Amino acid sequence: AQIDDEPAVVPTIAATGMVQGSRYRVERVSDGSEVISGVADVTGAFSFLYTPEDTPLMLRLRVRKGTAAPYYKPYEVQFYMTSTGASIPVSQLSDD
């Protein structure tokens, strides 16, 4: 007999509302180590399956569009990651 010891739910980090072309980074608050990073596409969203064994913990999402016009101010939020996941709405402000 084989026993499969996998979690019933795999937590997902999801963010929506980013401006296309914005760079994003999710990192651990405790040590600043990167979890995921990338550039927002036309949907302005991303999702990432996270390791359930590493929850709960505090994470930080940083978003910035500052390399090409139109520019946006940095957006940063900390969130608590649990085994059920986290969904983060992003609201970027123009940097006129």
pLDDT (0 to 100) of residue 52: 83
What are the tens digits of pLDDT across the range 61-89?
999 999 889 999 999 999 999 889 999 99
Flag whether pLDDT at 1 surpasses 70: no
Other beta carbons less than 10 A from residue 43's beta carbon:
9
pLDDT (0 to 100) of residue 16: 96
What are the tens digits of pLDDT across the range 7-51?
567 899 999 999 999 999 999 999 999 999 999 999 999 999 988
Give this prediction's pTM. Answer: 0.86
Positive or negative: CA dihedral 36, 62, 90, 23: negative
| Secondary structure (H, E, C), the chain | CCCCCCCCCCCEEEEECCCCCCEEEEEECCCCCEEEEEECCCCCCEEEECCHHHCCEEEEEEEEECCCCCCEEEEEEEEEECCCCEEEECCCCECC
